[in-house]
Structure 1
Amino acid sequence: MQKNNPKIINAWCMYDWANSVHALVIVSSIFPVYFSAAAMNASAGTGVVSFFGLQIKSSVLFSYTVSASFLFTALLIPICTAIADFTGHKKRFMKFFCYLGAISCMLLFFFTKDTLNFSVLIFALSLIGWSGSIVFYDSYLPEIATEDNFDRYSARGFSMGYLGSVLLLLFNLSMVLAPSFYGISDKAMPARISFFTVGVWWILFAQIPFRYLPSNYEGRKPVKNWLFNGFSELGKVYRELRKQPYLAKFLLAFFVYTMGLRTVMYVATIFGATELKLPSQSLIITVLLIQLVGIAGSYFFAWISSQIGNIYALMIGVAIWIAICAGAYYTTEANEFYVVACAVGMVMGGIQSLSRATYSKLIPENTVDTASFFSFYDVTEKSAIMIGTFIYGAVEQLTGSMRNSILALLFIFVIGLILLSRIPSQKVYRFGLQTKAN
């Protein structure tokens, strides 16, 4: 298959455009605000809800739901990716998780204070669908592009994701701020419609990558004992990973700093609503600001990596995250929160796109088992989210303050920076040969 084909590259980037609305509307903006309000109503103003008989603080329930979702994903995805690589059905798995996540978003339309338990489970399914589809999407990058374009194309995908999600959020935000313009009288209805539009948007634009991305470019044919052979495939990839010393070191560093980075993504809005008591409109506008700054941030970090190498660029990003956590700990006013949000936007997309590109560079060249290789990347990421959100919720539950949870994240970023510093930035080791800087 011809690499760097503009039509295929643009189609691949469109999946970022399609699925990023989940990260923005469901994870970061409207859903967390709506969740907090619904939980407050369900708890008669105490903030402590009954989840299948368990009395738990709503913000802690949110963190634990995210943690449990990614634990399940981390256990499931390696099996799926091994089978996908062995049978050649990678796109089918990508479609399954895509539709699972999108339909779950549509079902959140029925989220009210009386359906809290059911809606929390549906929210968890939306996370599983989103995270499950991403690993197959990411694994296409080394198949459709050459190494010298990984940083640029990865940044383009994230930027398109930011732009697409902003467009849908603006529409949803107009409903939230001016429901009467749409003939809506129920105050909760704009948010519920927003959840439904996420699913529609996701499915609609996902048809573009599903149309143009290769289904089975190696021409593999399923054989008997596909499950057993799928596990064998996973074992083969694991043995290959152990031969790549810098790849293993990068995965460890990635695991630690992602623990902090992705936790911030999932709890930032809850922090603003619960700790700073910011109004819903201010929180949603803040998330919108993060997205707009994130477009520039993705390309900015791609440019930095071209100048000083991927590892040094990542170290700069993690150092900024340490400063962000310190700033968030002392934040007490809305204006300060906006400044922190701008800094988050600048490094969030950039560090994620650069991490994906760096891993693509470090996996063995000309590998055909890309889904299995990216399953290790995905499991690392999902395990980090699981542990990070659990730590965040546990620290809050034990100490009663989210600010102490922020300090825990700061410590995590410091460890991530130290681990990154152990990886040579000027050269990588691949198949016994020294290659160009990464």
Structure 2
Amino acid sequence: MKRGYDPKKVVSWAMYDWANSAYATTVMAGFFPIFFKQYWSAGVDVHVSTFNLGTANSLAGITVALLAPVLGSIGDEWGKRKKFLLFFAAMGVVMTGTLGFVARGNWVIAMLLYIFATIGFTGGNVFYDSLLLAVVGRKKMDFVSALGYSLGYLGGGILFALNVLMILNPHLFGLDSVAEAVRLSFITVAAWWAMFSIPLLAFVKEPKVKKEQPALETVVAGLKQLCSTFRKIRQLRHIFLFLIGYWCYIDGVDTVVLMAVDYGLSLGFDQTVLIKALLVTQLIGFPSAIAFGKIGEKLGTKTGIFIGIGVYVLVTLWGAVMKAEIEFYALAIAVGLVQGGVQSLSRSFFGKMIPRESAAEFFGFYNMLGKFAAVIGPLLMGWTSMATGNARSSILVMIVLFLVGGTILYFVREPSTDNKN
């Protein structure tokens, strides 16, 4: 077995995607936008609730974006990425479970819990992503990164399917109402996330560091390291270019994930249709993410990303003019085909470019840009919807982000995998 490719470690690492994708699917993309608009924000104007949801996503993104590089540097310095991952995962689990107990009309409390749960979700991913380099070499990085996303789609999709069944038939589960089923769904996500995080924590090992600094010295060093990392990236032209391009196009990808259901509600589509369409995305996303891993190996990682960006441009154009609910299903299929591919290939593309010994440091910066992108998109979409009073105009701003990101990516050199494990 080649060093850095142990199937047990790889599967254990990928299972964390299975674990926390339940939050991304059931909570972030699925039930929270619906429940926030129709239950916790009952009586609030739809455009205002869209703005509030965008603000919540943006505040969570800003927090993680500011912390990510320093946390990444500390993770490298201490060699305790798993412990930091555990901390953020625990925060996400507790906050998500607590959402199940928030009463009708308490949108402020729901919003605060959602912000902290999302910080736990995205903060944990800083260290999860960086552990990719601890379980696989560069030659198999496209496949393993895609495996994580595909298991995320499958695991998140399985629980989401159960949650959808609970919503559609609450009495089958001994529940009195749809609202009770939604609240219970938040609790099941918390339990799922906690349980399936165990394999990574138990079986994935990380390199030991020579010397561990005191906490205060490490934080100070982390801040200095942030400046140092930025200087390094500025000198590494292709990494710098990639991060700028990634910042643009991943903004569009993340915004589609976070705001799709809210957008459909604003157009007057039935919530059951939106939930079912999201489930379709999950089911298609599982094999498609694996397929994109193979596309990256055969045609090149950058080519795979370009294919995904192209589909997103078409999806955005279609989304701005769609009128029938059946079209939402078609768009859900299209997004499912490429969403995981763009995310996984971007992660592996970056992983191939950076030094292994500074993985958390560089991935901290990578996640920082990703989260700053997630700040701009939802906030811009929410502001546009409220300012124009027309939800359709809000989705068109995504096209510019995809086109600019793709253009910059064109000038980035494909990293070599020669002589790498």
Q: Which of the numbers 283, 302, 306 marks the counterpart of 1:292?
A: 283
SS of alignment partner, residue 4 of structure 1: coil
Is 2:235 the counterpart of 1:237?
Answer: no
AA in 2 matched with 1:406: I
Is 2:76 the counterpart of 1:85?
Answer: yes
Is 2:319 the counterpart of 1:328?
Answer: yes
Counterpart in the other structure of 2:404: 415
Q: Which of the numbers 373, 381, 391 marks the counterpart of 1:402?
A: 391
Counterpart in the other structure of 1:66: 57
Asked if structure 1 preserves the Cα contact closer than 8 Å seen for 2:20 and 2:152, the reply is yes
Alpha-carbon distance in structure 1 between the residues aligned to 2:274 and 2:262: 9
Q: Which of the numbers 183, 189, 193 marks the counterpart of 1:198?
A: 189
Q: Which of the numbers 146, 157, 161 marks the counterpart of 2:152?
A: 161
AA in 1 matched with 2:5: N
Which whole-Å deviations, capped at 9, do the CAs of 1:311-332 have from their partners, x for residues lacking one?
1221121111111101111111
AA in 1 matched with 2:45: G
RMSD after superposition: 1.9
Which whole-Å deviations, capped at 9, do the CAs of 1:197-251 have from their partners, x for residues lacking one?
1111101111111111225534542347222222333333333323321111110
AA in 1 matched with 2:190: G
Question: 1:436/1:344 Cα in 2 relative to 1: closer, same or farther (>3 Å)?
Answer: farther
- Measured after TM superposition, the shift of residue 112 of structure 1 is 2.6
AA in 2 matched with 1:25: T
Counterpart in the other structure of 2:122: 131
Asked if structure 2 preserves the Cα contact closer than 8 Å seen for 1:324 and 1:340, the reply is yes
Asked if structure 2 preserves the Cα contact closer than 8 Å seen for 1:88 and 1:220, the reply is no
**Of 10-19 and 217-226, the range deviating more from structure 2:** 217-226
Is 2:257 the counterpart of 1:259?
Answer: no
Asked if structure 1 preserves the Cα contact closer than 8 Å seen for 2:28 and 2:258, the reply is yes
Is 2:365 the counterpart of 1:376?
Answer: yes
SS of alignment partner, residue 21 of structure 1: helix
Q: How does 1:170-181 map to 2 (within 5 A)?
A: 170-181=161-172
**How many residues align structurally?**
418
Question: 1:328/1:95 Cα in 2 relative to 1: closer, same or farther (>3 Å)?
Answer: same
- Measured after TM superposition, the shift of residue 424 of structure 1 is 3.5
Alpha-carbon distance in structure 2 between the residues aligned to 1:88 and 1:417: 35
SS of alignment partner, residue 114 of structure 1: coil
Counterpart in the other structure of 1:354: 345
**Unpaired runs of 5+ in structure 2?**
none
Asked if structure 2 preserves the Cα contact closer than 8 Å seen for 1:88 and 1:222, the reply is no
Alpha-carbon distance in structure 2 between the residues aligned to 1:35 and 1:242: 41
Alpha-carbon distance in structure 2 between the residues aligned to 1:47 and 1:296: 39
Which whole-Å deviations, capped at 9, do the CAs of 1:143-182 have from their partners, x for residues lacking one?
2211000000011111111111111112211211111112
AA in 2 matched with 1:11: S
Question: 1:243/1:436 Cα in 2 relative to 1: closer, same or farther (>3 Å)?
Answer: farther
Alpha-carbon distance in structure 1 between the residues aligned to 2:238 and 2:122: 25
- Measured after TM superposition, the shift of residue 339 of structure 1 is 0.6
AA in 2 matched with 1:416: G
AA in 1 matched with 2:26: V
Counterpart in the other structure of 1:14: 15
Alpha-carbon distance in structure 1 between the residues aligned to 2:284 and 2:174: 33
Q: Share of identical aligned residues, percent?
A: 30
Is 2:260 the counterpart of 1:301?
Answer: no
Alpha-carbon distance in structure 2 between the residues aligned to 1:112 and 1:64: 21
Is 2:374 the counterpart of 1:385?
Answer: yes
Alpha-carbon distance in structure 2 between the residues aligned to 1:303 and 1:310: 9
Which whole-Å deviations, capped at 9, do the CAs of 1:1-39 have from their partners, x for residues lacking one?
941111111110010011000100001112211112114
Question: 1:282/1:220 Cα in 2 relative to 1: closer, same or farther (>3 Å)?
Answer: farther
Asked if structure 1 preserves the Cα contact closer than 8 Å seen for 2:99 and 2:183, the reply is yes
Asked if structure 2 preserves the Cα contact closer than 8 Å seen for 1:172 and 1:194, the reply is yes
Is 2:413 the counterpart of 1:424?
Answer: yes
Q: Which stretches of structure 1, 4 residues or longer, exceed 6 Å deviation after superposition?
A: 434-437
Alpha-carbon distance in structure 1 between the residues aligned to 2:243 and 2:258: 21
Asked if structure 2 preserves the Cα contact closer than 8 Å seen for 1:88 and 1:219, the reply is no
AA in 2 matched with 1:244: L
